[in-house]
Amino acid sequence: MDHLTEISGIFTNAMAEMINNNFEASIALLSDVLAQEPRHPLALIARGSAFMQQGNLHNAIADLDHAIQAHPGYARAYHLRGLARFQDGDEKGAMADFNRALALDPQYGAAYNSRAILHSQAGNEEAAAEDAAQAASLGIRNLESYGNQNNLIRSMHLAVEDAMESELER
């Protein structure tokens, strides 16, 4: 078995554990991936998401910081770090991350949705309504682009983002 096949298998198992809400096992497997490939963007983001699910926001933000350092054009890393920052009470940092995610990917509906929630909680209803409308208009396109069930990694990644969105909406 070659190196990339091994990493892919470990990553797939980690995502299966995450989908089953077994975050400790997922974190352990993702740590194995990162030991072999420290800049693996999806492993950094997934482990950050698993830490976030556990309420370990310090480690979540650290992993997402590493993902951003390694891949500064990756909008999802900014979005997820914004979610972690929001949960950690850093609304200003969260807003900056949501804005950066949208600057990198103006078609990223989940980031509009997150920013709408943050605007709403800050009492800025006009901006919240604008972002919510944008999120709704992009929703169908985003599902078509990122919900392809034939692409296991993207489908699992979308499920992770959906879980993070649910956490933000609580």
Structural domain boundaries in the chain? 3-169
Token code pair at residue 156: 């699992």
The correct answer on CATH 1.10.357.140 for the domain covering 3-169 is no
pLDDT of residue 120: 94
Contact at 8 Å (CB) between 33 and 10? Answer: yes
Q: What is the mean pLDDT of residues 123-150?
A: 74
pLDDT digits (tens, 9 = 90+) for 39-98: 998 999 999 999 999 999 999 999 999 999 999 999 999 999 999 999 999 999 999 999
- Written in H, E and C, the secondary structure of the chain is CCHHHHHHHHHHHHHHHHHCCCHHHHHHHHHHHHHHCCCCHHHHHHHHHHHHHHCCHHHHHHHHHHHHHHCCCCHHHHHHHHHHHHHCCCHHHHHHHHHHHHHHCCCCHHHHHHHHHHHHHCCCHHHHHHHHHHHHHHHHHHHHHHCCCCCHHHHHHHHHHHHHHHHHHC
The answer, yes or no, to whether residue 143 has pLDDT greater than 90, is: no
Contact at 8 Å (CB) between 97 and 79? Answer: yes
pLDDT of residue 4: 73
Task: Please indicate whether residue 124 or residue 5 has the higher confidence score (pLDDT).
Answer: 124
Q: Which range among 5-9, 53-57, 97-101, 153-157 shows the weakest confidence by mean pLDDT? A: 153-157
- What does the mean pLDDT of the chain come to? 85
Q: What percent of the chain has pLDDT over 90?
A: 72
The answer, yes or no, to whether residue 99 has pLDDT greater than 70, is: yes
pTM above 0.95, yes or no: no
